[in-house]
């Protein structure tokens, strides 16, 4: 098996525009038709991220501060008729101070603490709330890594999912995101989430929310 450095180098090469295609078959849509063109420069990553997120069916806002971000989460929970919200046990979310306002709005807020029965709790939750390591402007994607207090089921099981991400953590493209993990200790799990879950497995009919949340919201903070 190739070493970690070589593995990451191959990923960077395969995600570079014009450098790699899954097949060289003449009739393949992946076959290059001419010289590779580099993507346009992204001068405002947060604005581009929100635009791409909307294009894939997600919802996003730019919040000036914690009060605005907190209000968005509480208002969304009310609109969805939520009774239970589960969130990551994360310092950034603790500082957001959303638990009290949610309780006042009649929504129980539960914090993930790695309990053995927490999958059952997240399966009943109406809203999942987390942060993200990074956001990618080019694709409208979130980069999430799991760990203590950061259960994957929080981002996958509730039908509505909300991520609060500092605007400073919006990167321009996928290679830039991959580079953030090169040369260091890799998390046990890293996932790229792009908009609501979609599946076309059954009779080629596109279904939203089949294998994950169908309602995705991202709050860029600051």
41-197+206-221: CATH superfamily? NagB/RpiA/CoA transferase-like (3.40.50.10420)
* pLDDT tens-digit map of 82-130: 999 999 999 999 999 999 999 999 999 999 886 667 888 888 999 999 9
Residue-level pLDDT at 188: 78
Task: Give the whole-angstrom CA distance, residue 87 versus residue 131.
Answer: 9
CA distances from 216 to 14, 53, 94 (A): 28, 9, 21
* pLDDT tens-digit map of 129-138: 999 999 999 9
Residue-level pLDDT at 34: 63
Residue-level pLDDT at 209: 44
Q: In the chain, where are the structural domains located?
A: 41-197+206-221
Task: Give the whole-angstrom CA distance, residue 39 versus residue 7.
Answer: 24
Task: Give the whole-angstrom CA distance, residue 222 versus residue 220.
Answer: 7
Task: Give the whole-angstrom CA distance, residue 197 versus residue 91.
Answer: 27
Residue-level pLDDT at 125: 94
Positions in the chain whose pLDDT score sits under 50 = 1, 20, 23-28, 30, 206-207, 209
Residue-level pLDDT at 35: 61
Report the SS3 class of residue 201: coil
User: Nearest CA to 177 among 150, 143, 147, 140?
Assistant: 143
């Amino acid at each position: 098996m190739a070493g970690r450095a070589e593995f990451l180098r191959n990923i960077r090469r395969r995600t570079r525009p014009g450098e790699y295609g899954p097949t060289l078959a003449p009739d393949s849509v992946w076959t290059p038709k001419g010289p590779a063109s580099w993507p346009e420069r992204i001068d405002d990553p947060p604005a581009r991220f929100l635009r791409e997120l909307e294009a894939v069916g997600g919802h996003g806002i730019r919040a000036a501060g914690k009060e605005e971000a907190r209000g968005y989460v509480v208002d969304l929970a009310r609109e969805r008729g939520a009774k239970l919200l589960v969130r990551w046990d994360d310092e950034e979310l603790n500082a957001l101070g959303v638990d009290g306002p949610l309780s006042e709005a009649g929504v129980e807020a539960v914090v993930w603490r790695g309990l053995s029965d927490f999958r059952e709790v997240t399966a009943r939750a109406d809203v999942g709330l987390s942060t993200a390591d990074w956001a990618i402007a080019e694709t409208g994607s979130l980069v999430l890594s799991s760990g203590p207090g950061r259960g994957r089921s929080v981002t996958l099981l509730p039908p509505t999912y909300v991520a609060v991400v500092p605007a400073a953590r919006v990167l321009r493209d996928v290679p830039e995101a991959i580079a953030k993990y090169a040369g260091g200790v890799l998390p046990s799990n890293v996932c790229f989430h792009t908009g609501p879950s979609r599946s076309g497995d059954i009779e080629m009919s596109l279904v939203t929310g089949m294998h994950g949340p169908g309602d995705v919201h991202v709050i860029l903070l600051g």
